[in-house]
Amino acid sequence: MTVLVTGGAGFIGSNFVLDWLAQSDELVVNVDKLTYAGNLGNLASLKGDARHIVVQGDIGDQAAVERLLAEHRPRAVINFAAESHVDRSIHGAGDFIQTNVVGTFHLLQAVLGYWRDTLQRDQEFRFLHVSTDEVYGSLGADDPAFSETTQYAPNSPYSASKAASDHLVRAWHHTYGLPVLTTNCSNNYGPLQFPEKLIPLMISNALEGKALPVYGDGRNVRDWLYVTDHCSAIRTVLERGRVGEVYNVGGNSEKQNIEVVKTLCAILDELVPAGRPHEKLVTYVTDRPGHDRRYAIDATKIERELGWTPSVAFADGIRKTVRWYLDNAEWVREVKSGEYRKWLDLNYQGRG
């Protein structure tokens, strides 16, 4: 048996592939464009493993995807491929539209043809689309958490492009019958996350004695989900989710950004004391345009229907994450070179 994973060299995708192959002998065909955030080093432990095939490719190349589907005949396609950084989308929305909207369209077309013609509408086949809570917009302090029926209200080019991709997936199910599943997750954190996002950026800057840039007043709230919990949720939805349904995946860990940063500083003070508290490096910077105030996930549906709940508490997950980055300094140095460094120098004003 085979599954095809798109974007499987990125943060969540690579964690999923590693987690999958730790529990299964099923072949994984891993298609990744290998742009700045797609890193084969994330998958170094699988080198020489016959269960893992890496293909450098673009989900927008429909013909190439069709050839892979015909060759490997997967029982499922799990779509992680996406441009995902809000700051990047503000500076250059075009790549987000191309990958997240046009790319998803071509991927759906390829998968639809495979399902119709090659599998003769195989009832076991699934297309699982991985999305984000950002499609729902922003919550007030007292608003109820996002549920699967919350109206979409994306506020950034990134979230708008992901909302569009979600709508395409829904339409391909309702119009053509494609057996799809969609997950909308909260903020992921953990090993292998590219250091443009809040947690790895703060760890990296703190270790270098650099400023810890926090947007606005730092009180924007996110729900934090440890990446291996997200992987287990995706496996659960793939195995038992109802075709055509959406499942919200959250970590039950709402935190203000400044609270997360101060927690990181306290752990670093303990593990790598620097002579003065790392919190002294916190610097408040001008807020980014359209910065959503609060995200919160109501994950009642996935718990009620599929029995899934997160298993890693934030206090444990954040400590494991810091230790991973401390133990993998060479990985950090490598991914912070090249294109990322050029972009950072030109555009970056802080992540919150």
- Residue-level length of the chain: 352
Per-residue CA distances from 325 to 37, 43, 202, 207, 234 (Å): 16, 16, 11, 10, 25
User: In terms of C-beta density within 10 A (0-12 exposed, 13-18 middle, 19 or more buried), how is residue 152 classed?
Assistant: middle
Q: Can you read off the two tokens belonging to residue 60? A: 């927008």
Report the alpha-carbon distance of residue 172 to residue 112 in Å, rounded: 8
Report the alpha-carbon distance of residue 206 to residue 264 in Å, rounded: 9
What residues act catalytically? Answer: 133-134, 158
Phi first, then psi, for residue 146 (nearest 5°) are -65, 130
**Strand-pair partners of 215:** 285
Report the alpha-carbon distance of residue 121 to residue 138 in Å, rounded: 39
